[in-house]
Amino acid sequence: MLHLFKKIEHLNAFLLKARQNQQSIGFVPTMGALHDGHLALIQQAQQENAIVVCSIFVNPTQFNDPEDLAKYPRPVSQDITKLESIGCTCLFLPEADEIYPKNLANVELDLAGLDSRMEGAHRPGHFAGVVQVVHRLLDIVQPDSLYMGQKDFQQFTIIQYMIRTLQLPVRLVRVPIIREDDGLAMSSRNVRLTEDGRIKASQLSSILMDAQDAAKHLALREVEQNALLAIEQAGLELDYLDIVNGDTLTPVDTFDDASNVVACATIRVDGIRLLDNVFLKES
Ligand code: AMP
């Protein structure tokens, strides 16, 4: 049975009982419009915890574009059906004033430049909003483990940095990207793609997969040049392709520069920004 809580007070009472019964708590924060990528996070959390809390909160502070916030899909009753179908224990569905009551102090954290490149460069203030909401939600739920997707790689790395820097008592788990049959990384924004846009969008994942294969025998610069050429030939509108150290998000010149190397790309299709990434080297 899915327990639905809109108020922190009621969620707290439920989680207090779970803790008293020594039940571990896994937490999956989302903005809703749930797809199989979100459900994979929840299912991994279910395998590792007695109780799984999924939150749905379209966090206004991480949207730098008011139109993107207004257009963000909010199919709550379908989301509830999906959560019930996989046996999720608990949905936290707060209103904004529950998350951000007046006079609440915000977390002070210098992101040490992790937010200056890639998504951060295109969406000023976005990661400050992400840090604010994830910190607040962790404070409310106090889970044993937090599950986040590799799909938003920069977000994952920044939350990992926040947890380490503030020494928050939570285990962070990275869940691989779940893709559509044609390779397109699942995203709540995909429903806004036109039929043609959808076909175009799926090419990015093929290009990144090819880069992953090429990384086994080519130098990093060649892998990058080939990917950029393929993106151009596919007629994709590229925001950036950055090949970075997977731990620090700083650019790398060769595969010897870091033990984790990740190619992160964002394209625009039908005016929608679509993110994807692959590990080119993983320790
Ligand atoms: P969102 O609702 O977009 O804020 O995403 C909530 C969580 O789901 C984040 O940790 C995302 O990284 C993760 N996520 C979104 N799409 C995918 C996907 N295709 N595969 C795996 N995780 C995903």
**Would you place residue 255 in the very low, low, confident or very high pLDDT band (cuts 50, 70, 90)?**
very high
Residue reference for tokens 């509108």: 237
Q: Calculate mean pLDDT across residues 72-88.
A: 97
Check residue 80 and give its pLDDT.
98
At a CB cut-off of 8 Å and minimum separation 6, what does 233 contact?
A: none
Strand 261-269, strand 237-245: pairing:
antiparallel
Closest atom of ligand 1 to CA, residue 34 = 2
- Catalytic residue, from 38, 126, 135, 217: name it: 38
For residue 92, give the nearest of 159, 152, 203, 15 by alpha carbon: 15
pTM of the predicted model as reported, rounded to 2 decimal places: 0.97
pLDDT tens, residue by residue, 210-234: 999 999 999 999 999 999 999 999 9
Which residues is 54 bridged to in the sheet? 28, 91
Position 68 pLDDT exceeds 90: no
The residue whose CB lies within 8 Å of the most ligand 1 atoms, and thus the one to mutate among 27, 38, 59, 205, is 38
Rounded Cα distance between 212 and 162, Å, is 29
Q: Give pLDDT, residue 108.
A: 87
